[in-house]
Amino acid sequence: MRIYPRENTTVIEEPALKDDAGSLVTTATVEATITLENGDPVPGVTNPVVMAHKGSGKYEGSVPPITLQNGTHVVVKVRAEVSGVIGTVRETLVVKDRTFNKVPQ
């Protein structure tokens, strides 16, 4: 999972959505919710963010530019549904130089 600036928007990307067997998923309905670590909304972001399939299991969505200070943690929850099966993942990302990086566990 990553969030990064592209032109006049900010992109949220899941580079390779896979099922339990490790196969790429290309037909899922995918949405992401982006909040501050305390659960408050990220200023300017309307949740959920719809993510579209871009090929080879890659899903992308766009949000307005996010202006947060370096070191700010955000929580990203992604929900994917395909053929009635729902999968979710939650990651905490940290802002560093206008990009969001996974927080080391």
Dump pLDDT digits (tens) for 36-92. 999 999 998 999 999 999 999 999 999 988 888 989 999 999 999 998 888 888 999
Say which residue, 83 or 30, is predicted with more confidence: 30
Report all structural domains of the chain as residue ranges with CATH numbers, in order of start. Answer: 2-102 (2.60.40)
Give the HSE-up count for residue 103: Cα atoms under 13 Å, Cβ half-sphere: 15
| CA dist list (Å): 95 to 25, 38, 101 | 28, 15, 6
Task: Record the pTM.
Answer: 0.84
Backbone angles phi, psi at 60, to 5 degrees: -135, 150
Residue 8: the pLDDT is 80
